[in-house]
Structure 1
Amino acid sequence: MLSLVSRRVHNSLVLLVLATLLCFTLVVSAPGNIAVLIAELRSPNASFADIQKIEEELGLNDPIPVRYAGWLTGALTGNLGISYKTGEEVGPALASRIPVTAMLVAGGGTVALLLSLVFGFAGAMWPRQWPDVAGRGVALLGASMPSFFVGALLIYAFAVELRLVPTFGLAGPSSWILPWFTIGLLPAAVLSRVVRVGLEEAMARPFALTAVAKGLNRRAILFRDALPNIAPTYINALGAQTGVMVVGAVVVEPLFAWHGVGDLFLTGIRFRDFMVVQACLLIFISFFILLNLLVDIGMIFTDPKLRRQGS
């Protein structure tokens, strides 16, 4: 098993190096001269000498491998460059926004986890009855509506009409509810079907039929016998939906005026701030690689088949 985990870690490190190459290449291959853009932001009447000075400051005249090595060394120490728009360092600005996005994704993940287990277990407990039908309908609606539409509906219903929660900003726990549900409803819908279908398949296997023949009630079989069998599948699906929530943060954060990494990423694209875009992409890709590594390790520990393959 340890050899299998070490292989996963090795593959993740290789992917991380390739991710840094991708992020660096995207900025290097961007159209136009970055030095000209910076000079125009600093002064509308910038001269050719000013542009050359900026090129020397940024090392734009150095060979590509040298530029990549310098950028990678700086990224490892937290130096992600200077914002073309504000002239400030990207690293501290990004560090102050990561907790906001982390709180949004963690809250959405909690909502998705709880709702998916409730609806999935209710459907498996009373198959083809009204809890199962209601859960299926809610899952269909949740998986069909995009996040920005869900957010607009929640804002109109609970903030504008009922005036129960704030519409935007970080004003305390009450302001977390709508963003969490907005980003967590779609993953909850998908995961609830994973739980429902997985439990139904597990209840049709011989060990579950034997437990029923022994007189055990359905609830005990679902929790004690069926749930461990769907754990690897659920962990895999939960990891994939967490990635969906990170992408959804790019839409949800501006909708609720949360100044996280997604909002910073959109601002960088709007103002052609390539250093900000590069740093945000590096954070996103690194998170996806780490998430996949954690999912793989979780599946190894919960799936006996994978452990036997590793041994």
Structure 2
Amino acid sequence: MIHFISKRLKHSLVLLFLASVVCFTLVVSAPGNVAVLIAELRGAVATPGYVEQVAEEIGLNKPLLMRYVDWLGDAVRGDFGISYRTGQDVSADLANRMFVTGILIAGSAAIATLISLALGFLGAFWPYKLPDRVSRGLALLGASTPTFFVGALMIYAFSVTFQLLPSFGFAGPKSWILPWLTVAVLPAAVLSRVVRVGLEEAMASPFVLTAKSKGLGRTAILFREALPNITPLFINALGTQVGLMTATAIIVEPLFAWQGLGDYFLAGVRFRDFMVVQACLLIFLTFFIVVNLIVDLAVLLTDPRIRRQWS
């Protein structure tokens, strides 16, 4: 078990290093002259002399490898530089925005988990009957509908038509509900099929016959026997969906006027603020890698077969 954990930690560190290389390479490979852009954003005339001064000031004249080492060393210390557009510390902006995105992902993951378990158990309790068909249809609809369209429908239904919930802003739990639901629809649809198929396979296993011979009903078998068997599979699928929620945040945050990492990343891309783009990309990739590491450890704890393999 210790060997498994150390091996996964080593793999995660390698992936983090590769992620930093990818982030740095993508940004420095972008077309255009960053020094000219910064000079124009400062309101100055982009004369050759001033452009050279700006390039020297922000270290663009250094060799590429040295620039990467300097940037990575600063990033490890939590220093992501100064925004080209606003002149403010990127790390300070990230600290404020990470809380907003964290609330969005955590709430959406919780809702997606509850909905998927409910739909999955609904279908497994009445297999191939009307409840199962309804849950299948809802899962197919949720997985096929684009997230931005789901958000627009949520706003029209709950904010415009019924005026039950606010449609924009980060002003407390009531304003979090619509963004949570918007992000949760797609993961809930995917995870509900994971639960339904997993339970169906578990109910066809020999241990179910043993449980039935002991007089257990279908509900007790589903919760006491089948659910523990699909837990590692569900955790794996949930981890993937939580990682993908970072991409969904880029769409949902501007839609509901949330000033999170997704909105910050889009602003950086729009204004070619490369320091912001680098920082956001690195955080997104780091989050995805850390989530996968946590998922692997959780699966190790919940699956005795893997524990025996690495014991």
C-alpha distance in structure 2 between counterparts of 1:71 and 1:163, whole Å: 48
In 2, the alpha carbon distance for the partners of 1:273 and 1:28 equals 12
Q: For residue 106 of structure 1, what is the aligned residue in structure 2?
A: 106
User: How far did 1:231 drift?
Assistant: 0.8
Residue 16 of structure 1: aligned partner: 16
User: Is the partner of 1:94 in helix, strand or coil?
Assistant: helix
Alpha-carbon distance in structure 1 between the residues aligned to 2:32 and 2:165: 46
Separation in 2, partners of 1:128, 1:184: 25
Partner of 1:198, secondary structure, is helix
Alignment match, 1:3: 3
Offset at residue 308 of structure 1 (A): 2.2
Partner of 2:183: 183
> What is the aligned partner in structure 2 of residue 37 from structure 1?
37
User: Cα deviation per residue 1:251-277 (whole Å; 9 max; x = unaligned)?
Assistant: 000110001000011111111111111
CA distance in 1, matches of 2:14, 2:54: 33
Quote the Cα distance in structure 1 between the aligned partners of 2:162 and 2:231: 39
What's the secondary structure of 2:171's corresponding residue? Answer: coil
Determine what percentage of the aligned residue pairs are the same residue. 62
Deviation at 1:30, TM superposition (A): 1.8
Aligned partner of 2:199 in structure 1 is 199
Q: Using the alignment, how far apart are the partners of 1:34 and 1:213 within structure 2?
A: 73
Distance 1:307 1:241 in 2: 24
Return 5+ residue gaps in structure 2 as ranges. none
- Deviation, structure 1 residue 49: 2.1
| SS in structure 2 of the partner of residue 176 of structure 1 | helix
Corresponding residue for residue 291 of structure 1: 291
Partner residue in 2 for 1:227: 227
| Letter matched to residue 91 of structure 1 | S
| Mapped partners of 2:5, 2:79: distance in 1 | 31
Using the TM superposition, name which of 152-161 and 206-215 deviates more: 206-215
**1:43-82 → structure 2 map (5 Å cutoff):** 43-82=43-82
How many Å apart are 1:306 and its aligned residue?
1.6
Matches within 5 A, 1:106-255: 106-255=106-255
Corresponding residue of 2:301: 301
Q: List per-residue Cα deviations over 1:182-226 (Å, max 9, x = no partner).
A: 000110011111111101110110001111122111111111111
Unaligned residue ranges in structure 1 (runs of 5+): none
- Whichever residue aligns with residue 2 of structure 1, its letter is I
- Give the Cα–Cα distance (whole angstroms) in 1 for the partners of residues 175 and 213 of structure 2: 50
2:153 partner amino acid:
L
Corresponding residue of 1:94: 94
Between the aligned partners of 2:262 and 2:301, the Cα distance in structure 1 is 33
TM-score, normalized by length of structure 1?
Answer: 0.97
TM-score of the pair, normalised by structure 2: 0.97
CA distance in 2, matches of 1:150, 1:43: 41
Q: How many residues align?
A: 311
Question: C-alpha separation between the residues in 2 aligned to 1:255 and 1:27?
Answer: 26
CA RMSD of aligned residues (A): 1.1
The Cα of 1:130 is off from its aligned counterpart by 2.3
Output the CA distance in 2 between the equivalents of 1:287 and 1:224. Answer: 33
Q: SS at the partner of 2:163?
A: coil
Question: Distance between the aligned counterparts of 1:30 and 1:150, measured in 2?
Answer: 33
Once the 2 structures are TM-superposed, how far is the Cα of residue 101 of structure 1 from its aligned partner?
A: 0.4
- The one-letter code of the counterpart of 2:219 is R
Corresponding residue number in structure 1 for 2:272: 272
Q: Deviations over 1:88-147 (max 9, x none)?
A: 121111111000000000110011000011111111112122221211111111111011
For 2:284 and 2:244, how far apart are their aligned partners in 1?
A: 11
